[in-house]
A and B are shown apart, each in its own frame.
Chain A
Amino acid sequence: MMMDSWSVAGRTFNSRLIVGTGKYKDFEQNAAALEASGAQIVTVAVRRVNVSDPNAPMLTDYIDPKKITYLPNTAGCFTGDEAIRTLRLAREAGGWDLVKLEVLGEAKTLYPDMRETLKATEVLAKEGFLPMVYCADDPIAAKQLEDAGAVAIMPLGAPIGSGLGLQNKVMIRLIVEGAKVPVLVDAGVGTASDASVAMELGCDGVLMNTAIAEAKDPVMMAGAMKLAVQSGRAAYLAGRMGRRQYADPSSPLAGLI
């Protein structure tokens, strides 16, 4: 496979797969799945330290932030203010300005609240953050986010944690065609073919957590996702054949006996 890197906010990565660090059985399994995935970026959450058990194992003991880019997220935030507060703390905890913004609208669908998301994007960009933004599969909202300072657009493929695969291929393609910043499908991937579909649509990358963490063998699935992202990307670059309504034989008709 040729070297095929992508860049977000001036940082270049070779892997187009971003993986989460939630829902794993333990940190060892998480680290092994990360290794198998080849991902160079992981999403992490910001939560209270357990002050009654400071010696509990920590994520940073298993995934080295000097080798893997930590992308702090705002999962669990239902207002822009909560999300901004979380990312200010994240910047202090890790010193990173590259962050993932998600502002959720409701618990049932975990669908993004785009009004709050857009407002928070503007504030974060003004404060010097580089927000990669989880958003609806809405090409207009995507442009608005870009104008507000989003460094990457991350539309959902299906509800977070659902594993239903891309439900909205037309809109994802339209977002990709209209964007000047990277587009990554974030959420909804269930298995390897879903990741390939996202890449075949021209996305710059895919972000997933549950599809790997809840597989029967997460480490093997992480390896499958790595290949799926690579093959989907290669197919996009190769340019697929046109679609026909009817059959077209592959063997010549001339010379038939």
Chain B
Amino acid sequence: MTASNLISIQLNGENRSFDGPLSLLMLVEKLGLNPAKVAIERNREIVPRSILADVQCADGDNLEIVHFVGGG
């Protein structure tokens, strides 16, 4: 691994670093999440679930991963 492979992103408001290259699908799986149960916003744009494998995380990305929780 070289330093240039390290990707620093904002994930749900936290600074995180991962080894690249890394698709959004790989990221979700690395986090232990079920891709069918979450929605992802990358730099304020929704990424459709169908293309998670095709979208690569880039250094400086701002990602939001959300799901449904109890609410009124």
Contact residues of A with B, CB < 8 Å? Answer: 20-24, 27, 30, 43-49, 51, 54-55, 58-60, 65, 70, 72-73, 75, 85, 88-94, 160-161, 209-210
Provide 16 A-B residue pairs closer than 8 Å at the C-beta atoms, listed in order of the A residue: A20-B70, A21-B69, A44-B70, A46-B68, A48-B13, A51-B31, A51-B33, A60-B67, A65-B68, A75-B72, A89-B41, A90-B68, A92-B39, A92-B46, A93-B38, A209-B71
| B71 and A22 within 8 A (CB) | yes
Q: Which residues of B contact A27 (CB under 8 A)?
A: 70
Q: Per DSSP, are chain A's interface residues mostly helix, strand or loop, or mixed?
A: mixed
Q: Which residues of B contact A44 (CB under 8 A)?
A: 68-71
Given contacts A88-B46, A90-B39, contact A58 B12 (CB under 8 A): no
CB closest chain-A residue, reference B70: A21
| B72 and A209 within 8 A (CB) | yes
| A93 and B32 within 8 A (CB) | no
| B72 and A49 within 8 A (CB) | no
| B31 and A60 within 8 A (CB) | no
Report how far A184 CA is from B23 CA in the complex, Å: 43
| A43 and B41 within 8 A (CB) | no
| A45 and B70 within 8 A (CB) | yes
Report how far A161 CA is from B44 CA in the complex, Å: 32
| B39 and A89 within 8 A (CB) | yes
Report how far A27 CA is from B33 CA in the complex, Å: 19
| A49 and B66 within 8 A (CB) | yes
CB closest chain-B residue, reference A210: B72
CB closest chain-B residue, reference A102: B72
Report how far A22 CA is from B69 CA in the complex, Å: 8
Q: Which residues of B contact A45 (CB under 8 A)?
A: 68-72
CB closest chain-A residue, reference B48: A92
User: A92 to nearest B CB, angstroms?
Assistant: 4
| A49 and B65 within 8 A (CB) | yes
Given contacts A49-B12, A92-B39, A92-B49, contact A59 B33 (CB under 8 A): no
Q: Which residues of A contact B16 (CB under 8 A)?
A: 51
Chain B 30-71 interface residues, beta-carbon cutoff 8 Å to A: 31-33, 37-41, 44, 46, 48-49, 64-71
Report how far A43 CA is from B37 CA in the complex, Å: 16
Chain B 4-38 interface residues, beta-carbon cutoff 8 Å to A: 11-14, 16, 31-33, 37-38
| A48 and B39 within 8 A (CB) | no
User: B51 to nearest A CB, angstroms?
Assistant: 11
Report how far A209 CA is from B64 CA in the complex, Å: 27
Q: Which residues of B contact A48 (CB under 8 A)?
A: 12-13, 64-66
A22's partner among B13, B37, B70 (CB-CB below 8 A) is B70
| B32 and A54 within 8 A (CB) | yes
Report how far A21 CA is from B72 CA in the complex, Å: 6
Report how far A17 CA is from B40 CA in the complex, Å: 31
